[in-house]
């Protein structure tokens, strides 16, 4: 199952506008760039369709999102606020993507990673949709990954 | 977090390591994750959804992870190898799958694993769910199994007897 980048951008634009009241501008897909620290939020979808959605952004964007969501100054947003903010964003993206999938699918709780020197991979999956955009000067990427092979689960 | 969810993970990690790696796992006293809790370089993360939702993280220092992966694959493999994340993902998948099988009466889906590699990262767990760290020690070194799961509303309403009494 492939996802049209235009559809993902429209979905992201709607969420960013409704939750953050911030516009986004399309950018070329790729990494979030050379930021000292970044955050990644991953939500897993399982059931009739299996895969994951990975949201990658600089910490500065997560701080901006948290400040808007929690009505605080960016400098006052603590790490749990940043975590909540991007977890909420990836959860909303996941919820909307889930609506496009065959029934029945389940969304996991989002897992959030913060760090300065890390790479995040979803083994056994392949990207089926990928967009990058700029929001207030911060580069954000969304990747939709579909599970391509069954893992061995020990019983 | 419901304490009845802890034991399946302990049993599963011991079972997986014993059967797949021929390695014993000594389990320490579980504790709630705080800001100062240990964070290692390699994290295998898997989501659980359905009657139980959340995430399970297998968090290992590089040396431990490379030792464990070498046992799993039968050959040395550096953490920079392209197949290394697959092996870590497989490991956390087996541990989660084994635990899932011990949730009687529950419909639980485990998703594809994600793997984070880097010396300066923190997995922040799930919102509104405390993360429990199970410290483990093996011949390859120490690692942590981090569980951050909760029962969903639908499952709570059904309350299977096996878990309600656990």
Domains in chain B, CATH or no CATH each: 3-151 (3.40.1550.10)
Would you say residue A29 has pLDDT above 60? yes
Greater pLDDT, B155 or B68: B68
Full residue range of the structural domain in which residue A114 is found:
5-154
Would you say residue A150 has pLDDT above 70? no
Q: Given this model, what pLDDT does residue A34 score?
A: 61
Which tens digit of pLDDT belongs to each residue from A47-69?
899 889 999 999 999 999 999 99
Gap between the Cα atoms of B8 and B10, Å rounded: 6
- Distance from the Cα of A137 to chain B's closest Cα (Å) equals 24
Count of C-beta atoms within a 10 Å radius of residue B73: 15
Query: The CATH number of the domain where A66 resides is what?
Result: 3.40.1550.10
**Greatest C-alpha distance within chain B:** 48
The ipTM estimated for the assembled molecules is 0.77
Q: Given this model, what pLDDT does residue A9 score?
A: 95
Of A29-38, A130-139, B135-144, the poorest mean pLDDT is in A29-38
- Per-residue b/e over A60-69, b at no fewer than 16 CB within 10 Å? bbbbbbbbbb
pTM over 0.80: yes
The total domain count for chain A is 1
Q: Given this model, what pLDDT does residue B72 score?
A: 93
Would you say residue A135 has pLDDT above 80? yes
Gap between the Cα atoms of B115 and A38, Å rounded: 16
Gap between the Cα atoms of A85 and A63, Å rounded: 8
Gap between the Cα atoms of A137 and B88, Å rounded: 35
3-state secondary structure of B107: coil
Handedness of CA B75, B79, B80, B82 (dihedral sign): positive
Which tens digit of pLDDT belongs to each residue from B101-128?
888 888 888 877 889 998 888 888 766 7
Mean per-residue pLDDT, A38-45: 90
pLDDT bin (cut points 50, 70, 90) of residue B162 is very low
pLDDT above 70: percentage of residues in chain A: 91
Burial environment of residue A1 by CB neighbours within 10 A (0 to 12, 13 to 18, 19 or more): exposed
Mean per-residue pLDDT, A82-106: 93
Gap between the Cα atoms of A120 and A102, Å rounded: 27
3-state secondary structure of B95: helix
Q: Given this model, what pLDDT does residue B134 score?
A: 95
- Chain A positions contacting chain B at CB under 8 Å are 40, 42-47, 50-52, 54, 79-80, 83-84, 87, 106-125, 145, 147, 151-155
**Residues of chain B numbered 74-103 and touching chain A (CB < 8 Å):** 85-86, 88-90, 93-98, 100-101
Residue with the two structure tokens 């897909």: A29
Q: Given this model, what pLDDT does residue B166 score?
A: 30
C-alpha separations of A56 from B1, B15, B81, B108 in Å: 28, 35, 23, 27
């Amino acid at each position: 199952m492939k996802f049209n980048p235009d559809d993902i951008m429209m979905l992201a634009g709607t969420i960013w506008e409704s939750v953050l009241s911030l516009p986004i501008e399309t950018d070329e897909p790729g990494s979030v760039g050379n930021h000292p620290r970044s955050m990644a939020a991953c939500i897993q979808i399982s059931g009739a369709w299996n895969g994951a959605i990975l949201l990658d952004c600089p910490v500065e964007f997560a701080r901006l999102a948290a400040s808007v969501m929690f009505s605080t100054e960016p400098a006052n947003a603590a790490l749990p606020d940043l975590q909540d903010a991007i977890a909420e964003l990836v959860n909303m993206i996941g919820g909307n993507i889930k609506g496009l999938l065959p029934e029945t699918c389940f969304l996991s709780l989002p897992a959030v990673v913060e760090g300065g020197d890390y790479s995040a991979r979803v083994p056994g999956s392949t990207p089926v949709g990928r967009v990058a955009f700029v929001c207030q000067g911060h580069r954000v990427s969304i990747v939709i990954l579909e599970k391509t092979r069954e893992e061995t689960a020990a019983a | 977090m419901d304490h009845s969810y802890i034991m399946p993970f302990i049993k599963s990690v011991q079972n997986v390591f014993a059967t797949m790696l021929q390695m014993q796992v000594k389990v320490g006293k579980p504790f709630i994750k705080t800001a100062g809790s240990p964070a290692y370089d390699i994290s295998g993360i898997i989501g659980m959804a359905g009657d139980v939702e959340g995430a399970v993280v297998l968090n290992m220092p590089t040396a431990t992870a490379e030792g464990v992966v070498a046992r799993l694959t039968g050959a040395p493999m550096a953490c920079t190898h392209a197949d290394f994340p697959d092996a870590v993902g497989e490991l956390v998948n087996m541990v989660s799958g084994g635990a899932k099988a011990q949730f009687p009466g529950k419909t639980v889906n485990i998703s594809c694993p994600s793997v984070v590699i880097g010396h300066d990262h923190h997995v922040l767990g799930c919102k509104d769910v405390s993360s429990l760290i199970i410290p483990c020690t093996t011949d390859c070194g120490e690692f942590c199994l981090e569980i951050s799961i909760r029962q969903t509303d639908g499952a709570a309403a059904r309350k299977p007897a096996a878990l309600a009494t656990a």
